[in-house]
Amino acid sequence: MEAIKKIAEVASAVGFQAGVPAADVAGQLVSFLYANPEHVERFMREGAELFVDGTIQPEWGGLTYRAGNGEILSPADLRDRKDMVRQ
């Protein structure tokens, strides 16, 4: 329950600052944390800092999302388009 509360708090703050829906940010957080459970403890401590330092990015998530052009993409699609390799 604490993780859900933290996700909602961070999503609300980041969404407000970025001018985007908090639900979209929450989805990105869940996607990222699902694919990268090693970052859960750090997220619980530092919250939005993981966005600031570039740790949380859509291409490192694990769930599909709607791109700006309306396409439904997986993070792997985005990595391929950006020619990115997981380190």
At 1, list the tokens.
Answer: 């329950």
Q: Any idea where the domains of the chain sit in the sequence?
A: 2-82
pTM of the model: 0.85
pLDDT digits (tens, 9 = 90+) for 26-64: 999 999 999 999 999 999 999 999 999 999 988 899 999
In Å, how far are 25, 61 from 31, measured between CA atoms? 10, 5
**DSSP letters of 30-53?**
HHHHHH-GGGHHHHHHHTTHHHHT
pLDDT range class, residue 16, cuts 50, 70, 90: very high
d(CA 12, CA 37): 21
